[in-house]
Amino acid sequence: MELAAAQGERVRGTTAPNPPVGCVILNAGGIVVGAGGTAPAGGPHAEVQALRQAGAAARGGTAVVTLEPCNHHGRTPPCTAALVEAGIAAVHYAVADPNPAAAGGAAHLAGHGVTAVHAPHQVVTRGALRAWLHRQRTGRPHVTYKLAATLDGRTAAADGTSRWVTGEQARAQVHAERAHLDAIVVGTGTVLADDPWLTARRPDGSLAAHQPLRVVVGTRELPRDAKVLDDSAETLLVRTHDPREVLAALDGLDDVLLEGGATLAGAFVAAGLVDRVVAYIAPTLLGSGVAALGDAGVRTMTDALQMVTEDVQLLGNDVRVSAVPRVSAGPMGGRGEAD
C-alpha cells in the first residue's frame, strides 16, 4: 500500500477534479509487475495505468489501490471493468469511495468473483488523498497553514527583515510541496512587505512543471510590477478579508496552502478554517519582531487551540512539525485526529 501511495503522491496536483489515486499490481507470485497513478482529467485512472504496465502478468494477481476502484462511466470506463477483464483475483483498497456516483466498486468486484478487501492505511489518508477526501466530506478546500519561524515564534526581525529564517533544505521542501498544490494564499500585506513570487521552483531555480494558483487576499492595491502579477503562474485577487469568502472563490480546488502573513492566518484560525499546520522551526532567537500568528480569537488558556502532532522531521538544522486540530478544540473544532 505504501508503494501505491507513492504513486498517488507522484501525480498529486495534476489530476483535478479526479482524486490522485495510486495503484500497484502484483502477479500471482506476489511480485510487483505494474504501477501507476491517475492521469490528468480525461486520461486513464491509476488502475488502468498499472494494468497496462503489467500486461498479461496481471492475470491471477492482486491490485493494491489507494481508493476503491470506481464503478461508473464518466470520461473513462469504470476501473472495475478493467480489473475484471484483466483477470485480477483480488483487490486491496485503502479508502472506500465517498462519492456516491463512483462508489460500489468493491461490491461489483465481489459479484464478479474478485476478492475485495478494505485495507485502511494511514499513509493514504494523510497523504495524496487527504485534501480530496476533505472536500468530499466538507465541500470546501483543505487548508494547510504553513509558517517558518524562530524558536521564539518570530517570522521576521524588528526591522522587518525575514530572509532567511530557515535553511536551504526547508525551503527546498516547501518548493517541492508547492509543485503539488492547487493554490497558495497570502494577504496584500505580505505582497507589499516581501514582494514574494509564490511559484514552485526546482533546485536550479527554474519553474516546476505545475504551478499553483497564486491568491492574494485584501483590498489594498498592489504595485503593477509586483512579482506575483507576472505571467509565471495565474494570480487571483480576492477583494475581501473574510476567509469564508476566500475559500468560496476557490471553488473546485482541493489543496490550498495558507502562507500568511500573521493577520490573515489568525483570521483563518479564528474562523475554524485551518485543517493542518506545517511549521518550519529554525534554532534561532530574535526576542522581538513579527509574531508568526496574529489574533486567532483566543482570549484565555482554556480557549487555546490544541493540536495533535502527526509528524516531526529534521531538515538540516531546522525542524518541520505537522499537526492537526484535536476534535472540538476551540474555533477549529470538529476536526479529527486521524484526518
pLDDT, one tens digit per residue, over 190-220 is: 999 889 999 999 999 999 999 999 999 999 9
CA 242 to CA 253: how far, in whole Å? 18
How far is residue 334's CA from residue 188's CA, in Å, rounded to a whole number? 30
In sequence order, what E strands does the chain have?
22-26, 32-37, 62-67, 90-95, 115-118, 142-150, 154-156, 183-187, 213-217, 235-238, 255-260, 276-282, 290-291, 307-315, 318-325
What fold characterizes domain 141-332? Dihydrofolate Reductase, subunit A (3.40.430)
How confident is the model at residue 331, as a pLDDT?
A: 37
What does the pLDDT read at residue 132?
A: 95
Cell readout for 12 is 498529486
The three three-digit cell numbers of residue 101, written as one number: 456516483
Residue ranges of the chain assigned to CATH 3.40.430.10 = 141-332
- Report the SS3 class of residue 61: coil
* Domain span(s) for CATH 3.40.140.10 in the chain: 2-125
Set of cell numbers at residue 120 = 485502511
pLDDT at 151: 94
What's the pTM value of the predicted model, to 2 decimals? 0.89
| Per-residue pLDDT, 60 | 97
- Catalytic status, residue 47: yes
Residues 160, 194, 233, CA angle at the centre, nearest 5°?
Answer: 165
Residues of the chain with pLDDT under 50: 328-339
- Looking at residue 302, its pLDDT comes to 87
Active-site option among 2, 9, 47, 221: 47
CATH of domain 2-125: 3.40.140.10
pLDDT of res. 40:
92
Q: How much is the pLDDT for 162?
A: 78
Minimal CA–CA distance to 122: which of 310, 319, 323? 310
The pLDDT, as a whole number, for residue 74 is 78
First to last CA, the chain: 18
pLDDT at 118: 96
What pLDDT score does 298 carry? 87
Backbone angles phi, psi at 313, to 5 degrees: -140, 135
Cell of 130: 487527504
CB atoms closer than 10 angstroms to residue 96:
13
Of the candidates 212, 249, 275, 254, the residue with the CA atom closest to the CA atom of residue 16: 254
